[in-house]
């Protein structure tokens, strides 16, 4: 009987399955399940967060901001149609100029969201605080995770990943939570956006810079520029009136 060891034994070519191929991820991915957001306020709240984050990251072309998009992270998940679509997320250190229908981790060098916000509703609150939280903590390793119900601002909570576990964030005196990944505060703002609510105001989740200044939305930036232009024009007119008075000229006769 031969005493040749398995380690030294050569393998004949016929013993190798030359037809075997490494499993490849599915390509028939679905990016829209046809399910709308819980309410108009949820939709607007998501868009406010997206616009706010894009404004805050204007000088970061290596960032991607998404909302209500499927995230594919494993072959089994994709094949089982186990959809996971955070209401809002940010990924840093990626190509922010690429067009994406969804976030497919195996097409993104294994990158997962760095920041996620879920907008709670009666039908999703439990899952967002348990199943999704565990997924983001243990699989995604998302550094900062927040939940917020647009109809109940007292639900605002956040966690930061440290030592592979989520730890609850403590609010500052304004009730805002720090987002270490982005170097921004996340907190509520009272107002009306796109005629929501129909009357009065409500609380929206918005980003603030490190000094506590509200990150303005594009329409707010435009309004602010227009207001500043009006103030500057008024100041220039007043200076001109003063110059005319100094010359003994009635400014009303010249400027009306």
The SS3 assignment for 199 reads coil
Q: Tokens for 115? A: 């920041």
Q: Identify the pLDDT of residue 249.
A: 82
Which residue's entry shows tokens 């046809």? 34
Q: Tokens for 182? A: 């982005």
Q: Tokens for 144? A: 């900062």
Neighbours of 2 (CB within 10 A): 5
Q: Which helix (H) or strand (E) holds 248?
A: none
Q: Tokens for 205? A: 């989740």
CB 156 within 8 A of CB 148: yes
CA-to-CA separations, 174 to 118, 168, 182, 186, in angstroms, rounded: 21, 17, 19, 10
Closest CA to 78 of 33, 25, 32, 35: 25
Q: Identify the pLDDT of residue 227.
A: 72
> By CB neighbour count within 10 A (0-12 exposed, 13-18 middle, 19+ buried), where does 137 fall?
middle
No. of helices (H) and no. of strands (E), the chain:
6, 11
Closest CA to 89 of 77, 107, 75, 105: 105
Neighbours of 44 (CB within 10 A): 17
Q: What is the DSSP string of 29-58?
A: ------PPPS-HHHHHHHHHHHHHHHHHTT
- Note down pLDDT in tens along the chain; length 256 residues: 444 444 444 444 445 444 544 456 555 555 444 455 679 999 999 999 999 999 999 999 999 999 988 898 887 766 555 556 899 999 999 999 999 989 999 999 999 999 999 999 999 999 999 999 999 999 999 999 999 999 999 999 999 999 999 999 999 999 999 999 999 999 999 999 999 999 999 999 999 999 999 999 988 878 767 777 788 877 888 888 888 788 888 878 777 6
For residues 109, 133, 126, 155, the Cα torsion angle rounded to the nearest 10 degrees is: -110
Is the pTM above the cut of 0.85?
no
What is the rounded CA–CA span in Å between residue 83 and residue 68?
11
Q: What is the largest CA-CA distance in the chain?
A: 124
Neighbours of 184 (CB within 10 A): 22
Neighbours of 250 (CB within 10 A): 10
């Amino acid at each position: 009987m031969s005493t040749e060891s398995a380690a030294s034994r050569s393998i004949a070519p016929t013993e190798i399955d030359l037809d075997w191929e490494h499993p490849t991820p599915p390509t028939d991915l679905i990016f829209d399940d046809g399910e709308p957001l819980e309410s108009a306020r949820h939709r607007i709240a998501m868009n406010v967060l997206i616009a706010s984050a894009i404004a805050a990251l204007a000088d970061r072309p290596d960032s991607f901001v998404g909302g209500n998009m499927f995230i594919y992270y494993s072959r089994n998940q994709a094949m089982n149609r186990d959809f996971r679509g955070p209401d809002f997320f940010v990924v840093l250190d990626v190509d922010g100029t690429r067009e994406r229908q969804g976030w497919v981790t195996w097409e993104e060098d294994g990158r997962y969201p760095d920041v996620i916000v879920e907008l709670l509703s009666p039908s999703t609150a439990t899952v967002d605080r348990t199943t999704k939280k565990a997924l983001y903590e243990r699989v995604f390793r998302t550094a900062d995770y927040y939940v917020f119900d647009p109809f109940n601002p007292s639900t605002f909570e956040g966690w930061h990943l440290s030592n592979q576990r989520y730890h609850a964030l403590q609010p500052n005196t304004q009730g805002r939570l720090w987002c270490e990944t982005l170097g921004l505060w996340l907190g509520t703002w009272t107002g009306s956006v796109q005629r929501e609510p129909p009357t009065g105001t409500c609380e929206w989740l918005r980003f603030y810079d490190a000094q506590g200044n509200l990150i303005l939305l594009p329409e707010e930036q435009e309004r602010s520029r227009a207001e500043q232009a009006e103030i500057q024009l008024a100041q220039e007119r007043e200076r001109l009136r003063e110059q005319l008075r100094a010359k003994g000229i009635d400014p009303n006769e010249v400027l009306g």
